[in-house]
Amino acid sequence: MRGAGWMALLAVAGLTAVATAGEALGPGEFFYQFRDDVVLWNAAPGRWGSGPYRLEAVPDDRGDQIVVSRGVEFGRLPPVLAQWRGRALRLHAWDGSSCTATITGFRLVGVARFAPAQSVAWNALRDPTRGDPAIGDDGWQEQPAMAEAAWNQGAHFLVATVDRQDSCAAEAWARDGELPAPAHATAEPVPDALRALAIETFRALPAWQRAQRAFAHARDRRGEPDPAWDREDQAQPRVQQFRLPAGHAEHRLISVLAVHDSDDAARDRRLWVVFELDGPADRPTLLLRAVASGRAVPAGVELQAVTDLHGNGRAALLYSARSARGLMLEAGGALVDQTIKRAPR
């Protein structure tokens, strides 16, 4: 799996526009899992699919997501993807544990989302007498036309089916089994004093100040007092601490995330910052490592874990968001979203 092969695949799939986002990762360094399987490619052409459509998830009170799957016409896959069949993967859990699995085949997964009004119309077509309780469904799988319609309106993911060995239950992300295991860290408790320091430092940043000025001058303020934009409901900064091993030392990373989501871009406020904790315990300082702001921060984002995919000390932030799971990498003082590595929730 050479880098040139992956770049050739971008051209084959018509994805040259996202090449820059994908170049930061080498072949096989990172894949998200989807249920029991692994997402190899998140922009697969629908023409790779073959066979009947199967509804796997439908809109309900918990979400608007429709998931449809199909088989794959193996001969249509680019060789750079087809050669993954039979390869070993290392499957990872959020807590850092891992286990081994082997790729046995492929399928395509289509994910569509509908506005509430559309979901109501689709719900009216259910047949509750012909459902499949095993998948929590009450009739949608008996509607092939509906499945095909969802397929045609959604994004398509090439998913590798895997044979999990020794009751392997890790279900977060995956990596080529031939690559070395990366350093990995999950969130630790944050002392109150450190939390206060992190928020104070966060609010002193130019990026936070710009968001505050925009908030204070918004038309809907109408002369009201101007509290900090991240004191709004649901927008309070979330502070997390991670100890990421680095050889015989470690990086003590502090993530500060504040998101005030709004469908109106002018009202939307989002800022995500990674600091490095330095200095003695009684006089700690926070050194700025990377920043993402505005719509570069996904809506509804939650940081799940931090890892060092390249072994070079740069952090990779594994997150869940409102509509997908994704990956942010440090690059030149910025957090860069790797959109080519997103996977459905």
Rounded CA gap, 291 and 274, in Å? 7
Residues 248 and 335 in one domain: yes
Whether the CB-CB separation of 59 and 67 falls below 8 Å is answered with no
pLDDT, mean over the chain: 83
- Domain boundary residue among 150, 180, 210? 180
Whether the CB-CB separation of 319 and 22 falls below 8 Å is answered with no
The pLDDT of residue 108: 95
pLDDT tens readout for residues 225-241 = 668 888 876 778 999 99
H/E/C letters for each residue in 73-115? CHHHCCHHHHCCCCCEEEEECCCCCEEEEEEEEEEEEEEEECC
Q: What are phi and psi for residue 34, nearest 5 degrees? A: -130, 105
Q: Are 270 and 294 in contact (CB under 8 A)?
A: yes
Judgement on whether residues 166 and 202 belong to the same structural domain of the protein: no
For residue 168, being part of any structural domain is answered with yes
Evaluate whether residue 187 is within a structural domain.
Answer: no
Work out how many domains the chain is built from and give that number: 2
Tell whether 223 and 301 lie within a shared domain: yes
Q: Is residue 185 part of a domain?
A: no
User: Of 21-30, 111-120, 252-261, which has the strongest mean pLDDT?
Assistant: 252-261
Convert the pLDDT of each residue in 162-178 to its tens digit: 998 778 888 899 999 99
CB 19 within 8 A of CB 10: yes
Q: Same domain for 272 and 314?
A: yes
Last residue of a domain, one of 148, 180, 212: 180
C-alpha–C-alpha distance, residues 324 and 38, integer Å = 14
CB 285 within 8 A of CB 265: no
Using DSSP, state whether 300 is helix, strand or coil: coil
Same domain (yes/no): 213, 135: no
Range of the domain at 224: 192-344
Residue 60 DSSP code = B
Pairing status of strand 249-260 against strand 269-278: antiparallel
State which of 111-115, 272-276, 299-303, 318-322 shows the largest mean pLDDT.
Answer: 272-276
Report if residue 321 sits inside a domain: yes
Question: Is residue 186 one of the residues assigned to a domain?
Answer: no
pTM reported for the whole predicted model:
0.83
Residues 48-58 pLDDT 10s:
999 988 888 77
Q: Are residue 46 and residue 152 in the same domain, yes or no?
A: yes
Q: Are 156 and 228 contained in the same domain?
A: no
